[in-house]
Amino acid sequence: MSVLKLEEYENDFWKDVDNRMSWDQIIPGDLRNTKPVSLTQEVISQFAKLIGDDNPLYHDEEYAKSTPYGGIVAPPNIHIVLMFACTDITDWMRSPGTINCGQSWYYNIPARPGDTITMRGSALDKFIKKERLFAVHENVFTNQHGQVICTGRGQTIRPV
Amino acid sequence: MSTHAEFNKITSGEKITGRPFTVTRETIADFALGSLDFNPLHFDEDYMKEQFGKTKFRGVIMHGMQNFAMITRTLTDWLTPRSGYHRRLETRWLTPVYLGDTITPVATVKRKLETGGSRWIVFEINVTNQKGISVATGEAMAEFADVFPGAPT
Protein backbone atom coordinates (compact mmCIF):
# COMPACT_ATOMS: atom_id res chain seq x y z
CA MET A 1 0.00 0.00 0.00
CA SER A 2 1.29 3.46 -0.84
CA VAL A 3 0.07 6.96 -0.14
CA LEU A 4 -1.08 8.62 -3.37
CA LYS A 5 1.27 11.45 -4.39
CA LEU A 6 0.52 12.81 -7.86
CA GLU A 7 4.02 14.17 -8.45
CA GLU A 8 5.59 10.72 -8.13
CA TYR A 9 4.03 9.27 -11.29
CA GLU A 10 5.71 9.07 -14.70
CA ASN A 11 4.31 11.70 -17.05
CA ASP A 12 5.83 10.41 -20.28
CA PHE A 13 3.38 7.91 -21.74
CA TRP A 14 5.85 6.99 -24.54
CA LYS A 15 8.05 5.35 -21.92
CA ASP A 16 7.44 1.59 -21.80
CA VAL A 17 5.12 1.92 -24.80
CA ASP A 18 6.37 -1.45 -26.12
CA ASN A 19 5.59 -3.18 -22.85
CA ARG A 20 1.86 -2.42 -23.06
CA MET A 21 -0.73 -4.77 -24.46
CA SER A 22 -2.04 -3.82 -27.88
CA TRP A 23 -5.71 -4.29 -28.82
CA ASP A 24 -4.79 -7.70 -30.28
CA GLN A 25 -3.31 -8.82 -26.96
CA ILE A 26 -6.06 -7.61 -24.63
CA ILE A 27 -8.04 -10.58 -23.28
CA PRO A 28 -11.55 -9.70 -22.10
CA GLY A 29 -11.96 -11.01 -18.56
CA ASP A 30 -8.25 -10.91 -17.69
CA LEU A 31 -7.60 -8.80 -14.61
CA ARG A 32 -5.32 -5.78 -15.01
CA ASN A 33 -2.38 -5.54 -12.60
CA THR A 34 -3.27 -3.11 -9.84
CA LYS A 35 -2.02 -1.99 -6.46
CA PRO A 36 -3.94 -0.27 -3.65
CA VAL A 37 -3.34 3.41 -2.85
CA SER A 38 -4.38 5.43 0.16
CA LEU A 39 -5.89 8.90 0.06
CA THR A 40 -4.88 11.88 2.16
CA GLN A 41 -6.95 15.03 2.68
CA GLU A 42 -4.20 16.89 0.80
CA VAL A 43 -4.37 14.75 -2.33
CA ILE A 44 -8.19 14.86 -2.35
CA SER A 45 -8.14 18.65 -2.25
CA GLN A 46 -5.32 18.80 -4.83
CA PHE A 47 -7.19 16.46 -7.20
CA ALA A 48 -10.42 18.46 -6.90
CA LYS A 49 -8.63 21.79 -7.56
CA LEU A 50 -6.71 20.43 -10.57
CA ILE A 51 -9.83 19.08 -12.27
CA GLY A 52 -11.62 22.41 -11.64
CA ASP A 53 -13.91 21.47 -8.74
CA ASP A 54 -13.93 24.10 -6.01
CA ASN A 55 -16.87 22.71 -3.99
CA PRO A 56 -15.85 23.29 -0.31
CA LEU A 57 -16.94 19.72 0.43
CA TYR A 58 -13.49 18.64 -0.77
CA HIS A 59 -11.45 21.46 0.76
CA ASP A 60 -13.06 22.79 3.94
CA GLU A 61 -13.61 20.47 6.90
CA GLU A 62 -15.83 22.97 8.77
CA TYR A 63 -18.19 23.29 5.81
CA ALA A 64 -18.11 19.55 5.06
CA LYS A 65 -19.09 18.81 8.68
CA SER A 66 -22.22 20.94 8.23
CA THR A 67 -23.38 18.76 5.30
CA PRO A 68 -24.88 15.24 5.41
CA TYR A 69 -21.42 13.92 4.47
CA GLY A 70 -20.22 14.79 7.99
CA GLY A 71 -16.70 15.65 6.86
CA ILE A 72 -14.43 16.03 3.86
CA VAL A 73 -14.96 13.39 1.17
CA ALA A 74 -13.33 12.77 -2.19
CA PRO A 75 -15.29 13.96 -5.24
CA PRO A 76 -17.36 11.09 -6.69
CA ASN A 77 -15.19 11.16 -9.81
CA ILE A 78 -12.00 10.40 -7.84
CA HIS A 79 -12.00 7.21 -9.96
CA ILE A 80 -10.56 9.39 -12.75
CA VAL A 81 -7.21 9.50 -10.95
CA LEU A 82 -7.55 6.20 -9.09
CA MET A 83 -7.57 4.27 -12.38
CA PHE A 84 -4.11 5.62 -13.24
CA ALA A 85 -2.89 5.65 -9.62
CA CYS A 86 -3.67 1.96 -9.06
CA THR A 87 -2.09 0.79 -12.36
CA ASP A 88 1.51 1.09 -13.50
CA ILE A 89 3.30 2.50 -16.53
CA THR A 90 2.75 -0.71 -18.53
CA ASP A 91 -1.07 -0.64 -18.23
CA TRP A 92 -2.73 -0.43 -21.66
CA MET A 93 -4.94 2.50 -20.69
CA ARG A 94 -1.77 4.63 -20.94
CA SER A 95 -1.18 3.79 -24.62
CA PRO A 96 -0.77 7.07 -26.55
CA GLY A 97 -3.75 7.64 -28.80
CA THR A 98 -6.27 5.93 -26.49
CA ILE A 99 -9.52 7.80 -27.19
CA ASN A 100 -12.24 7.87 -24.54
CA CYS A 101 -15.73 7.53 -26.05
CA GLY A 102 -17.86 7.66 -22.94
CA GLN A 103 -18.21 6.32 -19.44
CA SER A 104 -20.90 5.33 -16.99
CA TRP A 105 -20.28 5.27 -13.27
CA TYR A 106 -22.33 4.25 -10.27
CA TYR A 107 -21.47 5.78 -6.89
CA ASN A 108 -22.11 3.73 -3.77
CA ILE A 109 -20.46 5.55 -0.86
CA PRO A 110 -17.90 8.34 -0.87
CA ALA A 111 -14.15 7.77 -0.42
CA ARG A 112 -12.73 9.63 2.55
CA PRO A 113 -9.30 10.84 3.68
CA GLY A 114 -7.38 7.88 5.14
CA ASP A 115 -9.15 5.32 2.95
CA THR A 116 -7.08 2.71 1.15
CA ILE A 117 -8.59 2.02 -2.25
CA THR A 118 -8.24 -1.18 -4.25
CA MET A 119 -9.05 -1.40 -7.95
CA ARG A 120 -10.31 -4.46 -9.78
CA GLY A 121 -10.38 -3.90 -13.52
CA SER A 122 -10.57 -5.77 -16.78
CA ALA A 123 -11.65 -5.47 -20.36
CA LEU A 124 -15.09 -7.03 -20.87
CA ASP A 125 -15.23 -7.03 -24.64
CA LYS A 126 -13.46 -5.85 -27.76
CA PHE A 127 -14.86 -5.21 -31.21
CA ILE A 128 -14.25 -3.48 -34.54
CA LYS A 129 -16.60 -0.84 -35.86
CA LYS A 130 -15.98 1.29 -38.96
CA GLU A 131 -12.32 0.12 -38.96
CA ARG A 132 -11.88 1.35 -35.41
CA LEU A 133 -10.65 -0.93 -32.63
CA PHE A 134 -12.81 -0.67 -29.51
CA ALA A 135 -12.41 -2.04 -26.00
CA VAL A 136 -15.11 -2.12 -23.33
CA HIS A 137 -13.78 -2.08 -19.78
CA GLU A 138 -15.05 -2.23 -16.24
CA ASN A 139 -13.50 -1.09 -12.96
CA VAL A 140 -14.61 -1.54 -9.36
CA PHE A 141 -13.05 0.44 -6.51
CA THR A 142 -13.39 -0.71 -2.91
CA ASN A 143 -12.19 0.68 0.41
CA GLN A 144 -10.24 -1.03 3.22
CA HIS A 145 -13.50 -2.44 4.64
CA GLY A 146 -14.33 -4.13 1.34
CA GLN A 147 -17.16 -1.64 0.73
CA VAL A 148 -17.73 -0.61 -2.87
CA ILE A 149 -16.91 3.05 -3.54
CA CYS A 150 -17.89 3.06 -7.18
CA THR A 151 -18.16 0.88 -10.26
CA GLY A 152 -17.84 2.00 -13.83
CA ARG A 153 -17.78 0.99 -17.43
CA GLY A 154 -16.22 2.73 -20.37
CA GLN A 155 -15.39 2.39 -24.03
CA THR A 156 -12.15 3.44 -25.64
CA ILE A 157 -10.86 3.38 -29.20
CA ARG A 158 -7.47 1.64 -29.11
CA PRO A 159 -4.49 2.83 -31.13
CA VAL A 160 -3.62 0.54 -34.06
CA MET B 1 -35.70 20.60 6.12
CA SER B 2 -36.13 16.85 5.68
CA THR B 3 -34.80 15.03 2.63
CA HIS B 4 -38.39 14.23 1.72
CA ALA B 5 -39.38 17.90 1.76
CA GLU B 6 -36.32 18.81 -0.35
CA PHE B 7 -37.30 16.13 -2.85
CA ASN B 8 -40.87 17.45 -3.02
CA LYS B 9 -39.66 20.95 -3.91
CA ILE B 10 -37.92 19.72 -7.09
CA THR B 11 -40.00 20.02 -10.24
CA SER B 12 -39.85 18.00 -13.41
CA GLY B 13 -38.34 20.08 -16.22
CA GLU B 14 -36.20 22.13 -13.82
CA LYS B 15 -32.92 23.13 -15.49
CA ILE B 16 -29.60 23.34 -13.66
CA THR B 17 -27.00 25.27 -15.60
CA GLY B 18 -23.37 24.73 -14.63
CA ARG B 19 -20.66 27.35 -14.70
CA PRO B 20 -18.97 27.70 -18.11
CA PHE B 21 -15.47 26.23 -18.42
CA THR B 22 -12.87 27.49 -20.91
CA VAL B 23 -10.09 25.16 -22.05
CA THR B 24 -6.51 26.46 -22.04
CA ARG B 25 -3.12 24.75 -22.08
CA GLU B 26 -3.02 25.47 -18.36
CA THR B 27 -6.36 23.74 -17.61
CA ILE B 28 -5.17 20.75 -19.67
CA ALA B 29 -1.86 20.59 -17.75
CA ASP B 30 -3.74 20.84 -14.44
CA PHE B 31 -6.19 18.14 -15.43
CA ALA B 32 -3.34 15.88 -16.57
CA LEU B 33 -1.59 16.14 -13.21
CA GLY B 34 -4.87 15.74 -11.31
CA SER B 35 -5.89 12.67 -13.28
CA LEU B 36 -2.38 11.31 -14.06
CA ASP B 37 -3.55 11.11 -17.67
CA PHE B 38 -0.58 12.36 -19.72
CA ASN B 39 -1.77 11.05 -23.08
CA PRO B 40 -0.06 13.05 -25.90
CA LEU B 41 -3.54 13.69 -27.38
CA HIS B 42 -3.71 16.55 -24.89
CA PHE B 43 -0.20 18.04 -25.32
CA ASP B 44 1.59 17.23 -28.53
CA GLU B 45 0.56 19.34 -31.56
CA ASP B 46 2.86 17.39 -33.93
CA TYR B 47 1.42 14.08 -32.80
CA MET B 48 -2.09 15.43 -33.39
CA LYS B 49 -1.31 16.06 -37.08
CA GLU B 50 -1.21 12.28 -37.57
CA GLN B 51 -4.17 10.20 -38.65
CA PHE B 52 -5.82 8.14 -35.88
CA GLY B 53 -7.31 5.28 -37.81
CA LYS B 54 -10.22 7.07 -39.49
CA THR B 55 -10.13 9.96 -37.03
CA LYS B 56 -8.35 13.24 -37.67
CA PHE B 57 -8.05 16.05 -35.13
CA ARG B 58 -7.21 19.71 -35.75
CA GLY B 59 -5.06 20.12 -32.65
CA VAL B 60 -4.71 18.95 -29.07
CA ILE B 61 -8.00 18.05 -27.40
CA MET B 62 -9.35 18.44 -23.88
CA HIS B 63 -9.49 15.29 -21.72
CA GLY B 64 -12.94 13.72 -22.14
CA MET B 65 -13.03 13.26 -18.40
CA GLN B 66 -12.75 17.05 -17.92
CA ASN B 67 -16.21 17.14 -19.43
CA PHE B 68 -17.30 14.44 -17.00
CA ALA B 69 -15.81 16.43 -14.11
CA MET B 70 -17.71 19.62 -15.03
CA ILE B 71 -20.99 17.67 -15.18
CA THR B 72 -20.21 16.16 -11.78
CA ARG B 73 -19.47 19.62 -10.35
CA THR B 74 -22.78 20.95 -11.68
CA LEU B 75 -24.69 18.09 -10.06
CA THR B 76 -22.92 17.98 -6.68
CA ASP B 77 -23.01 21.79 -6.29
CA TRP B 78 -26.80 21.62 -6.69
CA LEU B 79 -27.45 18.39 -4.78
CA THR B 80 -25.33 18.90 -1.66
CA PRO B 81 -27.35 21.78 -0.11
CA ARG B 82 -30.52 19.76 -0.88
CA SER B 83 -29.18 16.59 0.82
CA GLY B 84 -29.29 14.76 -2.50
CA TYR B 85 -26.68 12.11 -3.32
CA HIS B 86 -25.07 11.88 -6.76
CA ARG B 87 -25.64 8.19 -7.64
CA ARG B 88 -24.82 7.80 -11.27
CA LEU B 89 -23.47 9.52 -14.35
CA GLU B 90 -23.43 8.14 -17.87
CA THR B 91 -21.87 10.13 -20.68
CA ARG B 92 -21.09 9.91 -24.37
CA TRP B 93 -18.59 12.22 -26.03
CA LEU B 94 -19.96 13.47 -29.35
CA THR B 95 -17.25 15.74 -30.63
CA PRO B 96 -13.75 16.75 -29.41
CA VAL B 97 -13.29 19.91 -27.35
CA TYR B 98 -10.34 22.09 -28.46
CA LEU B 99 -8.20 24.81 -26.89
CA GLY B 100 -10.18 28.04 -26.48
CA ASP B 101 -13.56 26.29 -26.46
CA THR B 102 -15.98 27.10 -23.64
CA ILE B 103 -18.24 24.31 -22.47
CA THR B 104 -21.37 24.60 -20.33
CA PRO B 105 -23.16 21.63 -18.78
CA VAL B 106 -26.94 21.66 -18.31
CA ALA B 107 -28.80 19.04 -16.26
CA THR B 108 -32.58 18.84 -16.74
CA VAL B 109 -34.82 17.02 -14.26
CA LYS B 110 -36.53 14.38 -16.42
CA ARG B 111 -38.22 12.19 -13.88
CA LYS B 112 -38.99 11.97 -10.18
CA LEU B 113 -39.60 8.52 -8.79
CA GLU B 114 -40.37 7.05 -5.37
CA THR B 115 -39.46 3.39 -4.90
CA GLY B 116 -40.24 1.24 -1.88
CA GLY B 117 -37.14 2.38 -0.06
CA SER B 118 -36.10 5.72 -1.50
CA ARG B 119 -36.59 8.74 -3.79
CA TRP B 120 -34.85 9.33 -7.10
CA ILE B 121 -34.28 12.03 -9.66
CA VAL B 122 -33.25 11.25 -13.22
CA PHE B 123 -31.48 14.03 -15.11
CA GLU B 124 -30.84 14.46 -18.80
CA ILE B 125 -27.38 15.93 -19.40
CA ASN B 126 -26.29 18.10 -22.26
CA VAL B 127 -22.92 19.88 -22.55
CA THR B 128 -22.64 22.49 -25.28
CA ASN B 129 -19.74 24.56 -26.59
CA GLN B 130 -19.76 28.30 -27.32
CA LYS B 131 -21.39 27.62 -30.71
CA GLY B 132 -24.28 25.81 -29.07
CA ILE B 133 -23.13 22.43 -30.42
CA SER B 134 -23.53 19.45 -28.10
CA VAL B 135 -20.13 18.02 -27.17
CA ALA B 136 -21.48 15.46 -24.70
CA THR B 137 -24.81 14.03 -23.68
CA GLY B 138 -25.77 11.70 -20.90
CA GLU B 139 -27.96 10.77 -18.02
CA ALA B 140 -27.54 11.12 -14.30
CA MET B 141 -29.37 9.87 -11.25
CA ALA B 142 -29.56 11.27 -7.73
CA GLU B 143 -31.00 9.74 -4.59
CA PHE B 144 -32.83 11.51 -1.78
CA ALA B 145 -32.54 8.83 0.90
CA ASP B 146 -33.63 9.04 4.55
CA VAL B 147 -30.17 7.81 5.54
CA PHE B 148 -27.39 9.54 3.67
CA PRO B 149 -25.15 7.01 1.83
CA GLY B 150 -21.92 6.33 3.71
CA ALA B 151 -22.69 8.93 6.39
CA PRO B 152 -20.38 8.52 9.40
CA THR B 153 -22.14 6.55 12.13
Which of A99, A132, A157 should we substitute to test contact with B (largest number of B Cβ atoms within 10 Å)? A99
The answer to whether residue A97 is domain-embedded is yes
Q: What is the ipTM of this complex?
A: 0.96
* Each residue's pLDDT tens digit, A9-65: 999 999 999 999 999 999 999 999 999 999 999 999 999 999 999 999 999 999 999
Are A148 and A61 in contact by the 8 Å Cβ rule? The answer is no
Give ∠ CA A123-A128-A133 in degrees, rounded to 5.
65
Nearest to B33 among A6, A96, A98 (CB): A6
The answer to whether residue A103 is domain-embedded is yes
Q: How close is the nearest chain B Cα to the Cα of A134, in Å?
A: 12
Are B105 and B71 in contact by the 8 Å Cβ rule? The answer is yes
CATH number of the domain that residue A94 is part of: 3.10.129.10
Rg of the Cα trace of chain B?
A: 18
CB contact under 8 A, A98 and B39: yes
Are A98 and B39 in contact by the 8 Å Cβ rule? The answer is yes
| Cα-Cα-Cα-Cα dihedral sign, residues B24, B30, B31, B32 | positive
pLDDT at position A158 over 90: yes
User: How buried is residue A28: exposed, middle or buried, by Cβ count under 10 Å (0-12/13-18/19+)?
Assistant: middle
Residues of chain B in contact with residue A70, where contact means CB-CB under 8 angstroms, are 151-152
Q: Which domain does A87 fall in, by range?
A: 20-158
Domains, chain B, in order of start with CATH, read: 9-143 (3.10.129.10)
Q: Which phi and psi angles does B25 have, rounded to 5°?
A: -60, -30
Domain count, chain A: 1
* Each residue's pLDDT tens digit, A65-96: 999 999 999 999 999 999 999 999 999 999 99
Element at B135 (helix H, strand E): strand B134-143
Which of B6, B24, B33, B36 should we substitute to test contact with A (largest number of A Cβ atoms within 10 Å)? B36
pLDDT at position A4 over 80: yes
Instruction: Report CA A43 to chain centroid distance, whole Å.
Output: 14
Q: Which phi and psi angles does B21 have, rounded to 5°?
A: -130, 125
The answer to whether residue A129 is domain-embedded is yes
Residues of chain B in contact with residue A57, where contact means CB-CB under 8 angstroms, are 76, 80
Q: pTM for the complete prediction? A: 0.96
